[in-house]
Each structure stands twice: as C-alpha cells, then as structure tokens.
Amino acid sequence: MGKKKILIFDDDTSILEVVSIIFEDNGYEVEIAETADDIISRVNVFLPDLILMDVYIPVIGGIEATRLLKDHIVHNRIPVIFITAKNDAAFISSQSSVVDYLSKPFDLGELERKVEKWIS
C-alpha cells in the first residue's frame, strides 16, 4: 500500500512549509495550496486521505471549500480538519462537516495526533 496523502490548504506559507516537512518526515505524501477555490480539481488529481483546511483562506474560504467537497458524491467522505487563527474555531467546526479543528497557533504534536486519529 502507498503512502497516506494529506492535502493542506493554508495561505500562510510558513505554516505550509513547516507542516509539510513534518508530515513528509512522518512518511506521508503531502500536497499544499494557498487557495481553496480549486478544491475539487485538486482532490480529483491528488486523492488525499485527509485535508487540513484553513478556515479563512482566499478566494472562497475554507468553509465554502469544505461545503463543495462534502457536496461532492465521490469525495464527501474525506475527513477535513479545520485550522484557524480565529477564536471561534469550535463554533465554526460544529456548524460544518469537519471531523476536528485546531486553533492557531497550534501545537505540532497535537496536530500530528489529530491527523493520525482521522487518517484511514
């Protein structure tokens, strides 16, 4: 079986860089994006096992991008974990079809535990 795949959407390039390195070092295949407006085409090509989604990402935002994913007949079961700097992460996550969330700044160990929990 191949490596598990994580697709990360975040407009903060330093977060993308650090998180990519950590998960690649842990044996995952990682793809990154600074916008989420093309989420379905990216998912169609990469076929991730899990998505990390910044809530406030350009152009359409993480909430709308996740809605598009969850409305998709093929990709709607891919687990999504929201990542946000806003203090309303718990509320936003409860109103969306995500499996978990993290507030920025987050503990890398906690991020790794959450990914391990939800990736199948």
Check residue 16 and give its pLDDT.
94
**Total of domains in the chain:** 1
Range of the domain at 11: 5-118
Average pLDDT, stretch 104-117?
93
Q: How confident is the model over 38-83, as pLDDT tens digits?
A: 999 999 999 999 999 998 898 998 989 999 999 999 999 999 999 8
The CATH number of the domain holding residue 69 is 3.40.50.2300
Which two three-digit tokens encode residue 59? 């152009």
Q: Is 34 exposed, middle or buried (0-12, 13-18, 19+ CB in 10 A)?
A: middle
Tell me how far apart the terminal alpha carbons of the chain are, to the nearest angstrom.
12
